[in-house]
Structure 1
Amino acid sequence: MQWAPVLMIQDTSNQLSLFKSESASESVSAPVASYGWMGSSAQFLAISLSDWLDQLSRRYHDLYNQRPTTTQIQAWQDCGERLQQQLTLLRPLRPDSSAWTLIFEYELPHEGGRRPDLVLLAAGQILVLEFKQKTHPSQADLDQVAAYARDLAEYHRASHHRPVVPILVPTRRTGESQPYKEGQGVQVLAVSELAAWLSQLEQASDLDPTTWVQSDYAPLPSVMQAARRIFQQEPLPEIKRARSAGIPELLEYLYRLVEQAQANHERHLVLITGVPGAGKTLVGLQFVYQHPVQHDQQRPAVFLSGNGPLITVLQYALKSKAFVQPVRNFYLHHEVRRQTAPTEHLIVFDEAQRAWDAERMAEKYGIDRAAAGAVLRIAERVPDWCVVVGLMGEGQEIHVGEEEGLEQWNQGLSQASAIWQVHCAPGQTEFFPAVPPDRLYAHKRFNLTTSLRSHLASHVQTWVAHLLAGELGQAAILMPKLRQAGFAAYLTHDLAVAKAYCRERYRHQPQKRYGLLASSRARNLAAYGIPNDYYATSRLNMGAWYIDPPDSPLSCCALERAVTEFGCQGLELDFPIIGWGDDLRWDETAWSSSVRQKNVRNPLRLRINSYRVLLTRGRDGLIVFVPPEAKMKNTYETLHAAGLEVLSTLI
């Protein structure tokens, strides 16, 4: 299946009219436009403020089946009054401004109600304005409007290759303002400055408002959203980032491989690696549920995972336990108890880097080989043909028994009784001396190097790698690129400030998810309000934590319960608050850890990988909280030196 675009449904009957006809026939056949009010500057100046507010309120009710709050109406009134004053002043300075288009409360489709206050199509440019009834905007305000502009530039087709400018207007500010910090690109203007600033806009090529408002908007969904769509046989959106990352081509290759294996009675092992957030799990889910197998079986494919939290969250989101299965049950049913042949010809093993070594498999299940070899031995019992896909994250081995990595797949192939053809990334061929060259296929398509989780922040993974390698200078050089891409990354000693930032930034965005993350081995975080101990985390309802709405006490957005590296691997948040504890500290020249774990050859490696997991969960950004303790001083200063900006409430 192709990654087909999900089309926006818009009111195309009369885009510049203030409201569509209320006739019965039109109310049935015409779709509701996803904005509150749209018209030219001349039309906006001609309408009375009361009529404009009435029409905004009616449209809001049409879209959300509820009346706007008194606070919302007051904010609209404040914005409308001031805009009409400034556009009146602008007219003699810029006569062409009468034809500029104002789109109030434009809802970003598929984004759970996210909507900037105003999109102004002016002089061929796209201006995204947020009005805040404040004297001084907060950092959350700045990042909110920057994110609107970023997402329009990246995911809105008619905005591609166009200037998209975020503008923040604190309506209580007076006097001249200064542009926000260079690099983030947010223009902060007092209301009194709007007319003069707009009059200086340089004319770009014409932009048709009807075309713009009807254009496709297709962000990549989160893992949970994508699972729902796949499960319901809905198309996933296509974004240029996913296509440039090679995901559609990889899926097409897998589909062709399945057809080949079925026709020629072959067995194939495909190992797909990638940076955190590159879409490995999405590839696996889509492959399993939209494959080309012609078979009379009810379930010719299975998605297995050793990641218990991922399974729990997906099953909670889908209200079904048949969608994904624990790999533990697969071992027990087909190897430990019955040694039967699976009915599935397609087996996807998610988080394959977490596969246990032989010692751990013997301890837990009494199986005499490593997990990779066990999966291959079970797959060999499948009649005629089989395709096994292993999805492997880079540098995310965090459990006891997970330190062997790719080597155990080579060992499993050396123990295999069937002939396997192996597909992997070019840099991995050296790990497979047991496979004859004529059965080893290497291609870059099997290594997903682009992060889709963090939107435009293509340098996030590299920044994390530099930080954890102690390469602080290289990390600091990359951070401005992250900010330019709209990825906000902060540092604080005050957990209350971090919580306030998230609540303020996502106040009117109920689909957004933010929450507390922490290393399981940190011992000093619980005293500061991050309960990461075993008792607290084992009692947490993982499904509710990720899925429930912000007003639920079980939701991550309540900011009361924390998830550790074991609970967030393979999952994501829009904005995590990461507690950096005393289990990984900077000792002047390198990272060190006093943690000791039984049966672990390199405890420091597991601690570093744990923080790699924690630091790569965010889609919009992250905040690192470091306890204000003397022993954490060097760590705090190191994170600051690596480019994290100290979070403040006001600019």
Structure 2
Amino acid sequence: MPAFYRASVSDFLNADPATVIGQLHLQSRHAVSNMRTATVVSWERTVTALRDALREVAAGIPTARRWGLLLEYEIPRRNCRIDCVLLAGQLVIILELKTGATGSASAAKRQVEHYAIELRDFHAESRNRRIVPVAVLSGSPLFQLQLDPDEADLVQPVQITGDVTLSRTLLAVAHVHETAIRGGQIDLAAWDESAYAPIPNIVEAAQMLFAGQSVREISHAHTDAYNLTKTTDVLVDAVQRAQRERRKAVCFVTGVPGAGKTLAGLNVVHSPDLLRDGRPVGAFLSGNGPLVKVLIEALAQDHHRRTRETLAESRRRARTFIQSVHGFLKAYRAPGRPPPERVVVFDEAQRAWDAEKVRKELLRRATSEERNHLGPALSEPALMLSIMDRWPDWAVIIALVGGGQEIHDGEAGLAEWGRALRERFPHWEVVASPEALEGGPSVAGSRLFPDGEAGSLSVRQERYLHLPVAVRSFRAQAVAEWVNAVVNGHTEQAAQIAAQVSSFPIKLTRSLDEARRWLKQKTRGYRRCGLLASSGALRLRAHGLEVSSGFRSSFPFQEWFLAEPDDVRSSNWLEVALTEFECQGLELDWVGVCWGGDFSWGGNTWEFRQFRGSTWQSVQKPTTREYIRNKYRVLLTRAREGLVIWVPEGSVEDETRPPEWFDSTAEFLRQCGATDL
């Protein structure tokens, strides 16, 4: 059972405290290798406090003796335990007891609220039940009750109390939630052994894989809708088949934003079925520099905490888990030996550079002598294929493809892969999802072969290489389609989709302060919120938000994603807005998108601008327009739980912020289904 100890309140009160402590200690030996004396002392204080409080509660509410009690309940796969859970009729009460000077009231409140939200969202037996989190501070005179029931959320406000006032708190909670208390008693064993299916974000998922778990252990709760493991199995089979038949293959995996493409790629590289001499047979490569930096730092910090190895050594290990694709291509650009890996996963393959971009980068970095001898450059898809083609027998490239998220000049898109394969590498087998071949919302309509002609290539369609369900958002699967409709100017379609995703709030406000208040209100426990803005929205500076490249290059965006909520560098402080370049491939629970003048609704269509010097200039070049559109596509698809869009009022005194641009944009978003705060 997950809990170290479980019993009815009656049995707990009748038990010898030493027996309870002994069972806790015995169970802990199976779960924790280095039990500390301080932990045992903490249990003694906890058991004493609970016995004193529950005696008084049972005296006032005789039926409380039938309540269920669990101590040290493990939240599976989260590496944390809840001190105490009380199952009071149909009410779930979570107690986090802080003995001695083990943390502030705010930290205890955040922790117990986080546990409550985890149970609400992912614990089957807690589903649709009210949950009351209580932070208990030993020896504290604090007695802060917020007893008004929250009808909008099953997780009720956190109650803060001391151990000496715990009984009063529990009696007050029982009185307020009398209907739930008088309901049928929750089955103690069923609750303890309940299914628990968390949905990790990409950072959490990478940490789990790095720690040795498999995708089967961390796949999302909606397994009845789609099983992420099928995609992994198909990819592993493709690698094994290529090895067995001594052939070369490239696999194209597609999916809606947040569907788990990166997770599937990481799992293939580190699959036990593909290990060679105990080491991965492949490499996971990403051209997304910020994603690489954030994941490496997150993996290193987690590994350091788990193993007590130095942070420097942990970072060295983490760098083997995910690598920069540009560094990989640079290392093997010159003809010659193949890389040691037979399998490479190319994350966000649609963002691979075209030949012109590659040549520009080579010229920028070359000496004057090297520039004189620089010949034609290959696009990154062609270069990657040529590098892996050096293996005489077999090799596999797994291309993870998003759609409509090319946000920088020179990003070649899916079609460049098809062109390189058809013209230069017709002997490679292509295994692709239907969307990669036929187009669809997840790839913004782009196709591997835009004209439908694959030439002499062997092409095999595999439906499980498309991930249609968003792991990122467990509340709404149609958000990506809503965003596509919005940025493409399809008002009616967007409004219809918005009506179907009411459980994923899409809010609109004209006030930045109001957006911040809403985000802070929604961000409970250890959830994260943050502001995002287009890198082209330079006039947000008038509102105190700086998005210039000079500022962004010096800001520690890893800390923005990873720092604790009390750290001023954390995204939760809502002081710094990251752009599409820093957030692509990553995610937050609650997002505030700050709209800029680079992309405004003109009444019938979108208008595109770039800020030059002191004025805006209209953009006419189709590819640049598409990059601007895609910036907002990225920004609007970063949220796991909900979104607020802040459209500034503009200013009649500032010609770079004309109110009509923003008024028309706000009205258009309302018509698309965004609702005012």
Which whole-Å deviations, capped at 9, do the CAs of 1:28-64 have from their partners, x for residues lacking one?
3124999xxxxxxxxxxxxxxxxxxxxxxx999959x
Query: Offset at 1:198?
Result: 5.0
Instruction: Return the alpha-carbon distance in structure 2 between the equivalents of residues 555 and 11 of structure 1.
Output: 35
Please state if 1:412 is matched with 2:420: yes
Q: Name 1:140's counterpart in structure 2.
A: none
Q: Name 1:544's counterpart in structure 2.
A: 559
**Residue among 302, 311, 314 paired with 2:283:** 302
Please state if 1:274 is matched with 2:255: yes
Whether the aligned pair in 2 keeps the contact of 1:128 and 1:166 (CA below 8 Å) is: yes
Please state if 1:445 is matched with 2:464: yes
Instruction: Return the alpha-carbon distance in structure 2 between the equivalents of residues 66 and 538 of structure 1.
Output: 50
Instruction: Return the alpha-carbon distance in structure 1 between the equivalents of residues 511 and 29 of structure 2.
Output: 44
- CA distance 1:113–1:561, change in 2 (3 Å): farther
Instruction: Return the alpha-carbon distance in structure 2 between the equivalents of residues 59 and 297 of structure 1.
Output: 37
Q: Name 2:637's counterpart in structure 1.
A: 616
- CA distance 1:550–1:240, change in 2 (3 Å): closer
| TM-score (norm. length: structure 1) | 0.75
- CA distance 1:228–1:200, change in 2 (3 Å): closer
Whether the aligned pair in 2 keeps the contact of 1:576 and 1:618 (CA below 8 Å) is: yes
Whether the aligned pair in 1 keeps the contact of 2:122 and 2:196 (CA below 8 Å) is: yes
**Residue among 197, 200, 217 paired with 2:196:** 217
Q: Name 2:594's counterpart in structure 1.
A: 579
Please state if 1:229 is matched with 2:208: yes
Q: Name 1:398's counterpart in structure 2.
A: 407
Computed over aligned residues only, the root mean square deviation of the Cα atoms, in angstroms, reads 4.4
Query: Offset at 1:154?
Result: 5.2
**Residue among 472, 490, 495 paired with 2:491:** 472
Which whole-Å deviations, capped at 9, do the CAs of 1:66-117 have from their partners, x for residues lacking one?
99xxxxx9xx9xxx99x969x979x9xxxx8974557899885556879899
Instruction: Return the alpha-carbon distance in structure 2 between the equivalents of residues 300 and 120 of structure 1.
Output: 48
| TM-score (norm. length: structure 2) | 0.73
Q: Name 1:241's counterpart in structure 2.
A: 222
Q: Name 1:156's counterpart in structure 2.
A: 123
Q: Name 1:3's counterpart in structure 2.
A: none
Q: Name 1:352's counterpart in structure 2.
A: 349
Query: Offset at 1:498?
Result: 2.9
Whether the aligned pair in 2 keeps the contact of 1:597 and 1:603 (CA below 8 Å) is: no
Please state if 1:316 is matched with 2:303: no
Whether the aligned pair in 2 keeps the contact of 1:578 and 1:623 (CA below 8 Å) is: yes
Query: Offset at 1:128?
Result: 7.9
Instruction: Return the alpha-carbon distance in structure 2 between the equivalents of residues 105 and 242 of structure 1.
Output: 28
Query: Offset at 1:339?
Result: 4.2
Please state if 1:559 is matched with 2:567: no
Q: Name 2:605's counterpart in structure 1.
A: 590
Structure 1 gaps, min length 5: 1-7, 35-57, 68-72, 131-143
Q: Name 1:641's counterpart in structure 2.
A: 671
- CA distance 1:200–1:246, change in 2 (3 Å): closer
Instruction: Return the alpha-carbon distance in structure 1 between the equivalents of residues 250 and 336 of structure 2.
Output: 21
Report the more deviating stretch, 600-609 or 258-267.
600-609
Q: Name 1:10's counterpart in structure 2.
A: 3
Instruction: Return the alpha-carbon distance in structure 1 between the equivalents of residues 668 and 81 of structure 2.
Output: 35
Letter in 2 for 1:416: R
Which SS does the other structure have where 1:456 is aligned? coil
Which SS does the other structure have where 2:222 is aligned? helix
- CA distance 1:401–1:287, change in 2 (3 Å): same
- CA distance 1:11–1:178, change in 2 (3 Å): closer
Whether the aligned pair in 1 keeps the contact of 2:57 and 2:64 (CA below 8 Å) is: no
Q: How does 1:163-562 map to 2 (within 5 A)?
A: 163-164=128-129, 180=152, 199=179, 207-235=186-214, 236-242=217-223, 244-293=225-274, 295-296=276-277, 300-317=281-298, 318=300, 319-320=315-316, 321-335=319-333, 337-365=334-362, 368-402=377-411, 404-417=412-425, 419-429=427-437, 431-432=448-449, 435=454, 439-484=458-503, 487-506=504-523, 509=525, 511-562=526-577
Structure 2 gaps, min length 5: 32-37, 96-110, 135-143, 158-170, 301-314, 363-374, 439-447, 611-616, 651-658
Instruction: Return the alpha-carbon distance in structure 2 between the equivalents of residues 565 and 255 of structure 1.
Output: 32
**Residue among 579, 583, 605 paired with 1:568:** 583
Report which structure shows greater RCO (CA 8 Å, sep ≥6). Answer: 1
Whether the aligned pair in 2 keeps the contact of 1:593 and 1:607 (CA below 8 Å) is: yes
Letter in 2 for 1:353: Q
Whether the aligned pair in 2 keeps the contact of 1:401 and 1:600 (CA below 8 Å) is: no
Whether the aligned pair in 2 keeps the contact of 1:278 and 1:449 (CA below 8 Å) is: yes
Instruction: Return the alpha-carbon distance in structure 2 between the equivalents of residues 636 and 343 of structure 1.
Output: 53
Q: Name 1:28's counterpart in structure 2.
A: 25
Instruction: Return the alpha-carbon distance in structure 2 between the equivalents of residues 286 and 644 of structure 1.
Output: 36
Q: Percent identity?
A: 31
Letter in 2 for 1:374: L
Which whole-Å deviations, capped at 9, do the CAs of 1:519-553 have from their partners, x for residues lacking one?
00012212213221112111112222211212223
Instruction: Return the alpha-carbon distance in structure 2 between the equivalents of residues 399 and 252 of structure 1.
Output: 33
Instruction: Return the alpha-carbon distance in structure 1 between the equivalents of residues 45 and 570 of structure 2.
Output: 24
Q: Name 1:37's counterpart in structure 2.
A: none
Letter in 2 for 1:645: T
